[in-house]
Amino acid sequence: MDKTTTLPGADVWRLYDTFGFPVDLTRIIAEENGLQVDEAEFEAERERSIAASKAGKKDAARGSKVALDVHTLAELEATNVVKTNDRPKFAAENLDSVNATVVAIVLASKGLVNQTEATESVGIVVDLTNFYSEAGGQVADIGKIVGPNGSVSVADAQNYGGYIVHSGDVIEGSLQVGDSVSLTIDTSRRHRITLNHSATHILNYALDRTLSSESIDQKGSLVAPDKLRFDFSCAKSISADQLAAIQSQCQELVDAQLPVYAADFALESVRQIPGLRAVFGEAYPNPVRVVSIGADVDAIRADQTNSQWSNYSIELCGGTHVQNTSAINSILITEEFSIAKGIRRIVAVTGTDAAAAIATADSFAAELDLIASLSGNDLDAALKASATKLDSLNISLIQKNIFRSKHSSLKKAHLDAEKRLKTVASDKLAQLFAESPAPFYVLPINLNGNSKALANAVTYSKSLKPATAQRPVFVLDTYKLNFACFVPAKSQSPSFAANLWAGNVASALSALNITAKFGGSALSAQGSVSLSPSTTQSVDSLVQVIVSAATDFATASLS
């Protein structure tokens, strides 16, 4: 076939497979433009893609979720397989285990089967379950299904038209359709999820009360074991004071130890309850479950239009909840930000996760107090490290803002002090030059380890005009025992120069088994002292050694 009039079959398949462009339409357009599709190449590419898809399913056989497609769902309904009763998920007692019968088993590669296979993930459908299937932002339960001849570890639960598929991997043996099984959920994980779901309702209520001037509507949520996430409409940013008020109101409802009620209501009648909260655009079943915090659902049912219900958190919800708000213990907002125009997000933690956040905040508060006692380079390094750490802390955002304010104050005070230190040595030298003329100067001064202040002293000495006004200068930072010296050209000799001056001081320290490094030129030099844990001399005594060595060397060299 002439290549100039041929449209590669691989390209035609890619247009369909990647972009959904109809193959027949591609053939028509090609023909109108004098081209023919390479059908052999097209078919080969199609077969290659199908094979790759099958290989991908095989590779992901274990550890993947199993879903019901429309064909499998229709097959279950056509054969009158009983749908799953999941009411036990709301049980306040004996929640952890339920006895049931396996009514269907699904494999991703084969669809409905009669028995599990250990080589790939399975979907188990039972007639009765205590597992919460993912819905309304609340994540699914995890746990185990145990039968007479095997068990499955459940990592996910999803509802498909009333059939709840428990996805997981075979741990041992096998399960068969008709087996009597025991379903056990991770109750500790469920408890954390339940705390977060009730806290989400409280947060929704607190937002509406605190931001009453805004039109607050729920736009999405995530209820997980380790956090809750709540998205809502809000045209303006939330101030720090508003955020603190929201968290405070949440905590008030927790501390009030309010009972939490739940009951089914007729969908049409429930909409007349004042203050009722629901997700806009969500399709709710009839009857629908109402969850109320503080207001008895029987009282609500008896008088559904009473305006007092607007003072309570009342929502349409099919999730799991605590029996009393006191179980939540604490609600801490850890993040708040915009995710789209007019949509904001709040992330919060509860229970033991909130307690951990409080402990982390207490630890960081003590760390900031310690940092406040530092100075110089130690303070500078600590401020930089703590700033990075603070950004990553999973603590109350209100507390984090307080820490940021304190950190900023410490940083500003440090920068102001550093700015003053930069000139303190040069200012002192200027004073000495003016008030105490001498052939040379040795100046011990506390510079808090500020290397720029030490360098500025040398720079100042070099800059004196005329050059005849310059004098040899040796400056020692008594805080870190760093030193710098300057010897003008007119004062230099074979026996006296800046590098010789620094070297002489280093030698005096070396005689005491103190390590000192130095370097530089005849004009200017610098040095530093390293103290080991075994050093017996005090810093004050070493200051005296350095000052004496520097003074004696200059006196002898210039005499």
Q: 442, 539, 446, 449: which is closest to 486 by C-alpha?
A: 442
The long-range contacts involving 271-276, CB below 8 angstroms and separated by at least 24 positions, are 272/304, 272/305, 273/300, 273/304, 273/305, 273/309, 273/314, 274/305, 274/306, 274/307, 274/308, 274/309, 274/310, 275/309, 275/310, 275/311, 275/312, 275/314, 276/309, 276/314, 276/315, 276/316
pLDDT at 491 over 70: yes
For 282-305, what is each residue's pLDDT tens digit? 778 899 999 999 999 999 999 999
Lowest mean pLDDT among 5-14, 77-86, 436-445: 5-14
Beta bridge partners of 346: 230, 336
Give me the residue label for tokens 């982390």. 360
Q: What pLDDT is recorded for position 420? A: 83
Query: What is the residue-averaged pLDDT of the chain?
Result: 91
510 CB contacts (<8 Å, ≥6 apart)? 516
Output the 3-class SS for 438-491: CCCEEEEECCCCCHHHHHHHHHHHHHCCCHHHCCCEEEEECCCCEEEEECCHHH
Give 311's DSSP letter: G
Give the C-alpha separation, 456 to 443, whole Å: 14
Element (H, E) at 230: strand 228-233
Domains of the chain, CATH where assigned: 3-59 (no CATH), 70-185 (2.40.30.130), 421-558 (3.10.310)
What's the count of helices (H) and strands (E) in the chain, helices before strands? 14, 21
Q: Name the DSSP letter for residue 115.
A: B
- Residue of higher predicted confidence among 19 and 251: 251
User: pLDDT by residue (tens digit) across 306-341?
Assistant: 999 999 999 999 999 999 999 999 999 999 999 999
* pLDDT tens string 443-467: 999 998 888 889 999 898 988 888 7
Q: Identify which of 100, 457, 108, 87 has the alpha carbon closest to the alpha carbon of residue 287.
A: 87
